[in-house]
Amino acid sequence: MFLRTRPPQWPGLTLAFVSVAALALAFAGGCAHSSANAPVAAAVAAPQPATATPTTTPGDPDVGAAVYARICLGCHQFNGQGLPGAFPPLAGSPLVTDADPGKVIRIVLHGLQGPIQVKGTTFNSIMPPPAPALTDQDIADVLTYVRSDWGNEAAPVTVEAVTAIRAQGARTTPWTWAELEKL
Ligand code: HEC
Instruction: Say which DSSP state 82 is in.
Output: -
- Pocket probe for ligand 1: among 72, 136, 145, 146, the residue whose CB has the most ligand atoms within 8 Å is 72
68 CB contacts (<8 Å, ≥6 apart)?
A: 76, 142, 145, 146
- Pocket probe for ligand 1: among 68, 76, 122, 138, the residue whose CB has the most ligand atoms within 8 Å is 76
Alpha-carbon distance 115 to 138, whole Å? 27
* 107-138: pLDDT as tens digits: 999 999 999 999 999 999 999 999 888 999 99
Q: How confident is the model at residue 63 (pLDDT cuts 50, 70, 90)?
A: very high
Alpha-carbon distance 113 to 101, whole Å? 18
* 13-30: pLDDT as tens digits: 444 444 444 444 444 444
Q: Which residues sit with their C-beta closer than 6 Å to ligand 1?
A: 71-72, 74-76, 87-90, 93, 95-96, 104, 107-108, 112-114, 116, 118, 123-127, 130, 142, 146
Q: What is the pTM of this model?
A: 0.77
Alpha-carbon distance 43 to 95, whole Å? 48
Q: What is the pLDDT of residue 46?
A: 54
Average pLDDT, the chain: 82
